[in-house]
Structure 1
Amino acid sequence: MAHHHGIPSAPSLPLARVRLEDVAPHDGAAAPAYARAVGALVASLARRGAAVLDLPAADAAVVRCALESARAFFRGRPAAYLYRAGRTLEDGELSPACMADAFRCLGKAARAALSAIARHLRLRTDVFNHLLDDAPLPVNEVSSSELLVAYSHEQPQSGQELMGCLRSSMPVVDRGFVTLVASDHPGIEVCDPNGHWYLADWGSGPSDLLLLTGSSLSHVTAGLCPISRYRDTNENRASLTFRLMPHANAILDCSQILAAGHPIRQIYQPIPASQFMDDSCAEEHDVFSHLEEPLESQGNFVSDPSLRSVLSDPLSGAFLEDAMVLQCGHSFGGLMLKKVTEMARCTICNGEVDPASLFPNLALRAVATVVKMEDDRRLFHNAALRKRRKDVTDYADVPKCTRSSSRVHDENGAESLAAAVKGVQYPFVVGERVLITGNKRTPEKFVGKKAVVTSQCLNGWYLVKALDSGESTRLQYRSLRKVPEMQTQGPVSLRD
């Protein structure tokens, strides 16, 4: 792909450009123009990971005003401002002009796009409305959706500034339903389903909105709507990024998708929106942590749960080691491939399928095989770890007097669990006397007391019983010390 000043050229297949009026919700039977617009919009999202919405003249004027306001507000310095409708400005806080009007226009466009996607999936156009904020927003209520106003420009970077620039160009996956981006200069690259990055807003102006889809939409549609990955090339530009988010009390589920007859993978379970957002933040943190790790320690990243779900058959759960690619670019394997060929329709974009045109997706098969091998290795490791823990627990339950005081070795010369049980996290056994040295969390009345171990818990925790008072408490091994043999007077009964 050719580049110009560090920016990829226009995509080989242009994005669908749809007028916002054409995808506005329609009651009853869809008009031909509406059906064509909805089909073009969804097909572009499936094949290119993005689409373009053309705003009406009045809304385009509002967006242009907001972009000019952003440039004036930041005064040529790279910065960003997060706007939420209904939020009261703090003392001394300033906001760019036209934000309320821009928030209203972009919110209306985002809801129209969401309705079009629902219609394509054979759902009611308002099926997701209960997951969104009320419109209009009630008084004294802050919107869950957000508008990010930013200004950036390309400049030489060094040191930590360079690291910050690289992080800003990292691939982004939004957590909401849909994202709309307006800018006065191209600069958003999108990754298509084949893994190719292209400049998505090439040739776009302030009246054009780049439409992207987020992880919340993918969840409530059981993965039928793909997630867009994009990145900012940090060019000299002002931009508005509107994210349509679920409200905090929403429950993200796939009940409507199931009712429409679509298959649902087991991973798409109902989840509160607040928890979904927290989990997404944790995943983003893990991704950045992974990118900062040494290369030799990054092998385990292939077992990320979301990657496994992409590489598995939604019906049988088997890895796509037999993946075939369709003419539309989507790949299937296992039982879903059989269903697609029987229907002669792609279950993602609804495109026609010619069984004679299918050919193996060798890259996907190779990745699925690698992930399957990694999963098998982890399952074996976890099974061995569980067996070791069980053996340790079983050994701890054996009376101390029946154990050999000498170290026992297996046929390979390795020490047996009779010695390993005295390791770092299991230094004591049931029935053994200990001295409670304690820490800042240990109740004062137990500190300095002698006790007997009555039970062994997980992760180095013990239940001990004070010898003088007979009271029990739960302490970690770091809070205990073995009583010297000369201070013990014979075996201790658990009834003491």
Structure 2
Amino acid sequence: MSSHGDAASSPPPAAASRSSSPRLGRVRLHDLAPYDGAATPTYGRAVHALSASLTRHGAALLDLPAAHAAILRCALQSARAFFRANNQPGSGLYLYRAGSGGGRTSDDGGDLSPACMDDAFRCFGEAARAALSAIARHLRLRTNVFDHLLDDTPLPVNEVSSSELLVAYSNQHLHSAHASSTACLSSSVPQVDRGFLLLIASDHPGIEVCDPNGQWYLADGISGPGDLLLLTGRALSHVTAGLRPTSRYRITNETRASLTFRLMPHANAILDCSPIAAAGHCVHQIYQPISASQFMDDLCAEERAVSNHSEAPSESQGSFISEPSLRSVLSDPLSGAFLEDAMVLLCGHSFGGLMLKKVIEMARCTICNGEVDPATLFPNLALRAVATVVKMEDDRRLFHNAALRKRRKEVTERMDVLNSTGGSRGNGELVLDAENPTSSKGVQYPFVVGERVLIMGNRRTPDKFVGKEAVITSQCLNGWYLVKAVDSGESIRLQYRSLKKVLELQLQSEMRLQPLTFLHNKYPSSGS
């Protein structure tokens, strides 16, 4: 066993050759367990090592005490013996739940359960609750802040645990070629867990995890039966407002025995982010309070929809869930503005807008809780460029939709006017005016490119353009023009209602000042 957490122990020679596998944080469960009294430096290092490994790699390793490791080794051996004794030498699954009536779900519907399941369930539960308390502590929450969402310990009489232990065994050498290829296909599907935490113990490596950079790596290559691979689930991501993201994993080796423990909220729990908000973290609007039962039902519906769309076989432990939209990733969670001023911290996380100001004020990264020095910030040019492009596309789409709605409104108003003045037949068919063929058009183009106009403006026109002469440079959709001011050379997009022809205004001015002289000069009388 390793001495402690923030430094991984030396891998075996066989595993050392896996250059693509990162050195996951290995934490002793004994150092991670909460206790009464002041926190020791050992506990602080263990909490930091666990959270840092989850942030950088999406997974961590828990080093179990000798007694717990012995129990899990017995449980793995009993799993092999159980499936072989039940005429399942090739593969099998068994779902165990602690409590009255628990542990009676298997492939063959038998009532017996593998040996050591009660003890293994308790070992997994203790490790999962200790890890959950450490995650809460790292987020500046109380270590028991999530206890009310979990089952009461010990369980009341006649109650079954909401958490579950999946016992799996597979020996691909005994499968047919067709069954083997089918199993390998299904195991390669990316998965996420629905609960708070996922703990996996196995006698052979075979779990790949996707890190935050999108790279897949073998996560349990240096682990053994005395180590637990720790992954985070969707429920934990929801109650932490996304500060602890969901781990994505896939099974690449099914020739092994494994124990998978899922720490789940009880059915009557309400998943909300009030502790996260009380601790000073920002909470996005998508993280609304929801009952645990409804949350799980929604995830099951999403999984079925994704499975039906992709025609990929579903897994009992979850399936791939769609990621957040590009707009939500590129926008500030507090103000909703695009990250056109994004700055990157030394820890690698980027912020902008109001969230950047909050991070600077707190001097802490809200994702990894690392210290922030304003002098070390530097612009994230790539993120700024992407945010600018997406913002321009978003603005174009909003402008187009607004123009369509305005066009429909104008056409509807014109039809109402024609109907009220007898411009339509009894059956509602619109009759066009023969003398004014453009009377039914909702958009007009009274100007041509190159023509000089005067900017009359409206409430939304900047004051610096109102009353200025301009030149039409291009004609846009739905009666809009791009004009350039003569004096400043600046361009602005305006609708035809905000523009007037210069010659027309001169004529109107002359008619107001000298109407008789103007008319006499314009139309001289030939008879008098």
TM-score if structure 1 supplies the norm length?
0.70
Q: Does residue 354 of structure 2 align to residue 335 of structure 1?
A: yes
Cα distance in 2 for residues equivalent to 1:374 and 1:315:
21
Cα distance in 2 for residues equivalent to 1:374 and 1:85:
53
Correspondence for 1:124 = 142
Contact 1:193–1:329 (CA<8 Å) still a contact in 2?
no
Deviation per CA, 1:118-150: give whole Å up to 9, x if none. 111222111111000111111211111111111
Task: Give matches, 1:19-58, under 5 Å.
Answer: 19-58=28-67
Correspondence for 2:230 = 211
Cα distance in 2 for residues equivalent to 1:273 and 1:102:
25
Secondary structure at 1:217 match in 2: helix
Contact 1:42–1:117 (CA<8 Å) still a contact in 2?
yes
Alpha carbons of structure 1 residues 356 and 393: separation in structure 2 relative to 1, 3 Å = same
Deviation per CA, 1:85-140: give whole Å up to 9, x if none. 12353774332222221111101110010011111122211111100011111121
Deviation per CA, 1:382-441: give whole Å up to 9, x if none. 778988999999999x999744347989x999x99xxxxxxxxxxxxxxxxxxxxxxxxx
Cα distance in 1 for residues equivalent to 2:268 and 2:408:
40
Correspondence for 1:85 = 98
Q: Does residue 112 of structure 2 align to residue 94 of structure 1?
A: yes
Aligned residues: 404
Q: Does residue 428 of structure 2 align to residue 404 of structure 1?
A: yes
Tell which deviates more after alignment, 372-381 or 106-115.
372-381
Secondary structure at 1:47 match in 2: helix
Secondary structure at 2:296 match in 1: helix
Deviation per CA, 1:49-94: give whole Å up to 9, x if none. 1111111111111111111122223334133222111235377433
Cα distance in 1 for residues equivalent to 2:321 and 2:394:
9
Cα distance in 2 for residues equivalent to 1:258 and 1:351:
19
Tell which deviates more after alignment, 92-101 or 242-251.
92-101
Amino acid at match of 1:85: A
Correspondence for 2:261 = 242
Amino acid at match of 1:404: G
Contact 2:302–2:321 (CA<8 Å) still a contact in 1?
no
Secondary structure at 1:345 match in 2: coil
Deviation at 1:240, TM superposition (A): 1.0
Amino acid at match of 2:355: M
Correspondence for 1:220 = 239
Cα distance in 2 for residues equivalent to 1:100 and 1:80:
17
Correspondence for 2:123 = 105
Tell which deviates more after alignment, 36-45 or 82-91.
82-91
Secondary structure at 2:224 match in 1: coil
Answer with 1 or 2: which has the greater Rg.
2
Tell which deviates more after alignment, 375-384 or 328-337.
375-384
Deviation at 1:26, TM superposition (A): 2.2
Note the residue ranges of structure 2 that are not aligned, 5 or more in a row.
1-12, 313-319, 442-528
Task: Give matches, 1:130-141, under 5 Å.
Answer: 130-141=148-159
Deviation at 1:344, TM superposition (A): 3.6
Contact 2:332–2:352 (CA<8 Å) still a contact in 1?
yes
Contact 1:9–1:198 (CA<8 Å) still a contact in 2?
no
Deviation per CA, 1:191-240: give whole Å up to 9, x if none. 11111111111211001001111111111111221221111113422111
Cα distance in 1 for residues equivalent to 2:305 and 2:389:
21
Task: Give matches, 1:85-484, under 5 Å.
Answer: 85-86=98-99, 87-88=101-102, 89=104, 92-153=110-171, 162=181, 165-292=184-311, 305=324, 308-355=327-374, 357-359=376-378, 361=380, 364=383, 402-405=426-429
Deviation at 1:35, TM superposition (A): 1.1
RMSD of aligned Cα (Å): 4.1
Cα distance in 2 for residues equivalent to 1:144 and 1:336:
37
Deviation at 1:176, TM superposition (A): 0.9
Deviation at 1:158, TM superposition (A): 7.5
Secondary structure at 1:59 match in 2: helix
Correspondence for 2:75 = 66
Cα distance in 2 for residues equivalent to 1:361 and 1:279:
36
Amino acid at match of 1:29: A
Deviation at 1:309, TM superposition (A): 3.8
Secondary structure at 2:235 match in 1: helix
Cα distance in 1 for residues equivalent to 2:328 and 2:136:
23
Secondary structure at 2:237 match in 1: helix
Secondary structure at 1:52 match in 2: strand
Secondary structure at 1:222 match in 2: coil
Alpha carbons of structure 1 residues 303 and 224: separation in structure 2 relative to 1, 3 Å = closer
Contact 2:303–2:321 (CA<8 Å) still a contact in 1?
no
Deviation per CA, 1:5-63: give whole Å up to 9, x if none. 9x993556411111111111122321111111111111111111111111111111111
Amino acid at match of 1:66: A
Contact 1:323–1:360 (CA<8 Å) still a contact in 2?
yes
Tell which deviates more after alignment, 282-291 or 25-34.
282-291
TM-score if structure 2 supplies the norm length?
0.66
